[in-house]
A = this chain, B = another copy of it.
Amino acid sequence: MNIGAAAEHSGLPAKTIRYYEDIGLLRASRALNGYRDYTTDDVHRLKFLQRARSLGFTVEECRQLLSLYADKNRDSADVKAIASRKLDEIDTKIAQLQSLRAVLSHLIAHCHGNDRPDCPIIDDLAGEAH
């Protein structure tokens, strides 16, 4: 599959896919004409990258996450440790999104028109996830 189709399927711009190859995040094999050639597994990885990046994981973190599947020689306890750490980060992110969501939905429900200047939301703004 050419880079255009891979871009289409993964949701990443072709430019970004080439950039990821530049920095060694995901190498694709080449067809005889020199074009990059992507397998469906490659596309899965690209989708995964798109998702993880859009959720605030850094490229280095994505590299780590990808390595969890890729490295057959890695010790199982090691994999588990890294995965567990990432799991905690994900849980934190979910909690933060939920608190962000609460703030916004409160805003939608209660703070219309003239009420808003004194809206209690501003007090909760960035409040802890209870």
B residues near A53, Cβ cutoff 8 Å:
56
Binds B, one of A13-21, A27-35, A68-76: A68-76
Residues of A contacting B: mostly: helix
Interface size on A, residues (CB 8 A): 52
Which of B76, B99, B122 has a CB less than 8 Å from the CB of A44?
Answer: B122
Q: Is the CB of A116 within 8 A of B86?
A: no
Please give the distance in Å from A128's CB to the nearest CB on chain B: 9
Residue of B nearest to A113 (CB): B76
Q: Is the CB of A97 within 8 A of B48?
A: no
B residues near A7, Cβ cutoff 8 Å:
none
Q: Report if A87-B116 is in contact (Cβ < 8 Å); known contacts: A47-B126, A69-B125, A125-B45.
A: no
Besides A52-B100, A80-B108, 8 more A-B contacts (Cβ < 8 Å) are: A51-B96, A51-B99, A55-B93, A76-B113, A79-B111, A83-B107, A90-B104, A94-B101
Tell me the A residues contacting B by CB distance below 8 Å. Answer: 10, 41, 44-48, 50-56, 65, 68-69, 72, 76, 79-80, 83-84, 86-87, 90-91, 93-94, 96-101, 103-105, 107-108, 111-113, 116-117, 119, 121-123, 125-127
